[in-house]
A = this chain, B = another copy of it.
Amino acid sequence: MRTLYHLWLSPACRKVRLVLAEKHLAFTLEVEPVWQRRRAFLALNPAGEVPVLIEPDERVLADATAIAEYLDEVAPEPNLLGATPEARAETRRLVAWFDRKFDAEVTANLVGEKIVKRLSGVGQPDSGAIRAGQANIHTHLDYIGYLADRRLWLAGNCLTLADLTAAAHLSCVDYLGSVPWEGHPGAKEWYARIKSRPSFRSLLADSVPGMPPPPAYADLDF
């Protein structure tokens, strides 16, 4: 059995949970409060970050991208990167878009300010950052709509790590009720499709202690 060290509203951890579930690999979750910097955890990952995956053979894997690529190599069905080098380059370009650009412009401003600061006890939310995140998200939803209008999934006609990465970020923002779905029908239709996949069920059942999600979060007909 695999063990995944994670945090509830971490997009990187949610991505790995989705990859494991899409590949039907069983795992248990362990919450790791990384801000405590536990020695035993730092021995697993000197970066002090989640996700960390312990494989059935006790091998330790760290970093969401490294874990996702590893799992796609050792458990190749379904293929989550693409069938050709060109398709894989497009998947990886979009993974980087969401993990770096969306993360800096949206996730850090909304989830970082509203949740991470509270959980880790490092100060008050910055209202300017929250306003920036709320403004920035529209461009990204437009881009998702643009891609989903031209392709079945974000990187092409098969579901890939690009969809799982985008959905991992958006699901965290959606947990706060902060995604303006109504103005973005293309992005909403794409998210409805990914939200109804069996791999998404465990994410929709998440409930951070003392901070329950709004009803629409787990509603497939949102």
Contacts and interface: CB of A to CB of B under 8 A. Distances in A.
A30 interface: no
A92 B63 contact: yes
Contacts of A61: 89, 93
Contacts of A93: 61-63, 66
B92 A66 contact: yes
A47 B95 CA distance: 12
B96 A63 contact: yes
Interface stretch (A16-24, A69-77, A210-218): A69-77
Copies held by the complex: 2
Interface SS of A by simple majority? helix
Given A73-B85, A73-B88, A96 B66 contact: yes
24 contacts: A47-B101, A49-B101, A61-B89, A63-B96, A63-B97, A65-B92, A66-B89, A66-B90, A66-B92, A66-B93, A66-B95, A66-B96, A67-B89, A69-B88, A69-B89, A69-B92, A70-B85, A70-B86, A70-B88, A70-B89, A70-B92, A73-B85, A73-B88, A74-B85
Given A47-B101, A66-B90, 12 more contacts: A63-B92, A63-B96, A65-B65, A66-B89, A66-B95, A66-B96, A67-B89, A69-B89, A69-B92, A70-B88, A73-B85, A73-B88
